[in-house]
Structure 1
Amino acid sequence: MNQRLAHVTLLVRNYNEAIAFYTNVLGFTLASDLDMGGGKRWVVVAPPSAAGCSLLLAEAKTDEEKRGVGHQGAGRVWLFLHTDDFWRDFPVLQSRGLHFLETPRSEVYGHVAVFEDLYGNKWDLLEPLAG
């Protein structure tokens, strides 16, 4: 069986503000933005060299979905953005206004710093150590 994880749905407040954040601040590419009618869109963003998973942005419509915006990880880091050069990317992302919650640190698994996206979801910027 040949399978892979393709997309993770991320609840957002507004398609356009989310696209702007993920493309302008994180430097992701807009892989798809298709009008599906009725105010619904198929919006996919991904890191520019992504061979793996991408984000499917879903504009929250119901009250329950709106409450979930920014809380999908229940306050924990739940998305991990890998880089091949942490010390190159960290200052670039800071200069674009990305809000880091801590100073960078080195762990047994790699160089890492936690940041928040525009809705408060927590992410790791992580350069994994080889091996």
Structure 2
Amino acid sequence: MINKIGKITVYVKDQEEAKDFWLNKVGFTLKFEQAMGPGMSWIEVGPSEEEFTTVVLYSKAAMEKQNPSAVAHPTIIFSTTDIESAYEKMKENGVEVDEIKRMPYGTMFSFKDQDGNNYILREDK
């Protein structure tokens, strides 16, 4: 029935700051951007042009007006094939990262975006 994850919405205080974070610090690609009205855009970013799944950087203030209960932030787990390289690149780019954790079920670390939202990056081999 469900065969892909299409979009994950992250509610952000400042869309331009969030776009800068995801493009210039995490290395994502801008997949789509369209104005939605005064001071607000629909912005989608993703790991590459080829990747189907995107992260939507949506205005937190707009969503709080539309549907306040929807603003809870889910845990999002991103994947990489080289955890060490990703960790060093994020640190170099000024991303707040926790120490790498090596667990029996995988190697990972958590990081925060410009609004303090937490994410996990896990190595897939």
**Shorter-chain TM-score above 0.5:** yes
Is 1:112 aligned to 2:113, yes or no?
no
Q: What is aligned with 1:98?
A: 95
Change (3 A) 1:47 1:63: closer
Map Cα deviations across residues 49-96 of structure 1 (whole Å, 9 max, x no partner). 66342111111225836x88x9513xxxx0112101111111111000
Q: Structure 1 residues 14, 93: CA separation in 2 closer, same or farther (over 3 Å shift)?
A: same
| Number of residue pairs the alignment of both structures matches | 122
Contact 2:44 2:55 in 1 (8 A): yes
CA RMSD of aligned residues (A): 2.5
Aligned to 1:86: 83
- Deviation string 1:88-119 (CA, Å, 9 cap, x unpaired) is 11111100011013x11211222111111111
SS in 2 for 1:27: coil
Contact 1:99 1:117 (C-alpha < 8 Å) held by counterparts: yes
Say if 2:61 is the partner of 1:61. Answer: yes
Partner of 2:8: 8
Alignment gaps of 5+ in structure 1: none
Q: 1:72: which partner in 2?
A: 73
Kept after mapping to 1: 8 A contact 2:29/2:49: no
TM-score by length of 2: 0.83
Change (3 A) 1:2 1:99: closer
Partners of 2:104 and 2:13 in 1: CA distance: 36
TM-score (norm 1): 0.80
How far did residue 3 of structure 1 move? 3.9
Give the aligned residue type for 1:21: F
1:127 is matched with: 123
Q: Which runs of 5+ in 2 are unaligned?
A: none
